[in-house]
Amino acid sequence: MNSTLDQLKARFSQALVKAFGEQYGEADPMLVPASNPKFGDFQSNAALALTKQLKQAPQAIAQQIIQNLEIDDYCETPEIAGPGFINLRLKQEYLVSRLHRMLASDRLGVEPVKRPQRVIVDFSSPNIAKEMHVGHLRTTIIGDAIARVLEFQGHDVLRLNHVGDWGTQFGMLITHLREACPAALQDSDAIDLGDLVAFYREAKQRFDEDEDFKERSRKAVVELQSGDPEARKAWQILCDQSRREFQKIYDRLDITLTERGESFYNPLLADVVKDLATTGLLVEDQGAQCVFLDGFTNKDGDPLPLIIQKSDGGYNYATTDLAAIRYRIQQDGAERIIYVVDAGQSNHFAQVFQVARRAGWVPETVEPIHVPFGVVRGEDGKKFKTRSGETVRLKDLLDEAVTRARTDLSTRVQEEGRDESPEFIGHVAETVGISAVKYADLSQNRTSDYVFSYDKMLALQGNTAPYMLYAYVRIQGISRKGQIDFTQIANDVPIDLQDESELTLAKHLLQLDQILAAVSVELLPNRLCQYLFELSQKFNQFYDRCPVLQADEPQRTSRLALCDLTARTLKLGLSLLGIPVLERM
């Protein structure tokens, strides 16, 4: 079923046609959720918007719209307010019929999109032989949530991990591997990634200080690129080591990705250059092959070149991304390509998209989108670092969150005199800790920088994972206490929304499809977080005011149905953020 808003918009369009003629079928009904429940549920500003065109007073236009509006099945009689706003209030019968549909559906009434798209989400994408750091945490968490929402909407999503597994840095890594740990070439378990980060540093140091090493590294790059078996083996070992460490993090975060790193596009780079040459975009500038960009200039105001192939024949990060976008459109059939990458790379993507468009690779129907996000800051407002000033390793960060969650939980369990098994404590602490980290990231508008605070993200109050998980647990508690099996509630149970808080909760529940639709357009998971936060608050208000188990029938079952719907909505919504629920905590 379409969202209520969409259906009402359609009715408005019909009314506009009836009142003013065919050409008004395209006019925007300007229908939005009401800003204040006092004014009803929706408000249309169409009458005001049309005054110029129709040369009539907005009040009169509103009158004519209302006369032609057939929405008896949805709303009470519409009201005109102020200068010509049309206010709509949903009928209780309509709300109940929607709640019934929601109860009956395992998708909570959210229908898959009518025209699924082939979507690529490019996210996470750490670099081989380097530790995954807190910047990669944001892309990993945000990218996964976006992918989950789009998958739920019915899109065909390819989750791509564009790992940095190619480039000249492998020359020094291979050379250092050959010379410092030749054993690793025999037995690939001889080094592990903890070492590999130090290993990278050592290689870099030798590269910077030792001219001969530099020369051997350059040779190694050539060997690797020409497919020399031994160089490739060394490269493979380095990649495998990193991959194993990355996978531990993905497993812990419950994240699935298909790895297709930069090396995948290596054989396609020459074609990119050829293609760009044929379209006449390629210009030689000081020996390098470049495309001069529109709208990008250097300090002197001259057009900025994007270097496609360096004078030594090498390629750049941008060349790989050009090959990638071309491949994703032509081979993967992508219609929407979403790059979840930090805001620092905005220019890079704007440039790549521009060149791809000018080369004619991006049909009208394809939408490449850079989904930027801000940096992670510590509570002091500075870039998030360890106390000794180093970048925080993702693994340590997750461990710390879990440890703190465990301490909080153990204290609470003790205070409440509960007797819980170590397995229970362990499971709850891991879930709460990881969920808190994920939720704290997702609940911020991703475009702004975000302040990382263990205390805030683990708080039981506020817009946090623990608060949301707790609301769910509270509802499971009701079912345990009353020995209620929610699945036994009939899909057509009589629902009576008498108390204001019941009505408010029911209306909020029914906004789920609208919110998910908005998230999949705007790619802002924080909107889903906000929705779930308000849902928990509205549920808590309802539960404080309305007795459930103590209520008489038929009210009791009606309220249990609201509890069940709230729990299922929380569970679904959180799962789309990559967060599992707990039955007890």
Rule CB under 6 A: which residues touch ligand ARG? 122, 125-127, 162, 164, 321, 324, 339, 341
φ/ψ of 373, rounded to 5, equals -145, 155
Pick 271 or 379: Cβ nearer ligand ARG: 271
Phi, psi angles (nearest 5°) of residue 164:
-80, 85
- CB-CB contact of 71 with 78 (8 Å): yes
**C-beta of 199: minimal distance to ligand ARG in Å?**
18
Closer to ligand ARG by CB, 189 or 240: give it. Answer: 240
- Return the axis-axis angle of helices 394-415 and 134-152, rounded to nearest 10°: 80
User: Phi and psi for 522 in degrees, rounded to 5?
Assistant: -85, -15
- Tell me which residue has tokens 């020995």: 483
Cα dihedral 334, 340, 345, 351, rounded to 10, equals 20
In the 3-class helix/strand/coil scheme, how is 337-395 assigned residue by residue?
EEEECCHHHHHHHHHHHHHHHHCCCCCCCCEEEEECCCCEECCCCCECECCCCCECEHH
Which residue, 293 or 343, has its beta carbon nearer to ligand ARG?
Answer: 343
Nearer to ligand ARG, 163 or 519 (CB): 163
The three-state secondary structure class of 547 is coil
Query: What is the nearest approach in angstroms of ligand ARG to the Cβ of residue 63?
Result: 55
Beta bridge partners of 367: 336
Number of continuous H segments (helices) and E segments (strands) in the chain: 22, 14
* Residue closer to ligand ARG (CB basis): 75 or 146: 146
Question: Is the separation of the CB atoms in 242 and 193 below 8 Å?
Answer: yes
In the complex with ligand ARG, the residue whose CB is nearer, 41 or 131, is 131
Q: Which of 568, 22, 132 is CA-nearest to residue 391?
A: 132
Closest contact distance (angstroms) between CB of 350 and ligand ARG is 13
Min dist CB 524 to ligand ARG, Å, is 20
By C-beta, is 109 or 167 nearer to ligand ARG? 167
Question: What's the Rg (C-alpha) of the chain?
Answer: 29
* Separation of first and last alpha carbons in the chain: 35
CB closer to ligand ARG out of 314 and 372 = 372
CB of 78 to ligand ARG, least distance (A): 49
* Rounded Cα gap, residues 163 and 141, in angstroms: 16
Cα–Cα nearest to 239, from 165, 168, 161? 165
Q: Which residue is nearest to ligand ARG (CB)?
A: 125
Nearest to ligand ARG of 272, 510 (CB atom): 272
* Choice between 108 and 341, CB closer to ligand ARG: 341
If phi > 0 it is left, if psi is from -120 to 50 it is alpha, else beta; for residue 77 that is beta
Range 78-83, long-range pairs (CB < 8 A, 24+ positions): 79/40, 80/47, 81/39, 83/48, 83/58, 83/59
Minimum distance from CB of 128 to ligand ARG (Å)?
9
The whole-angstrom separation of Cα 227 and Cα 502 is 68
User: Of the two residues 341 and 394, which places its CB atom closer to ligand ARG in the complex?
Assistant: 341
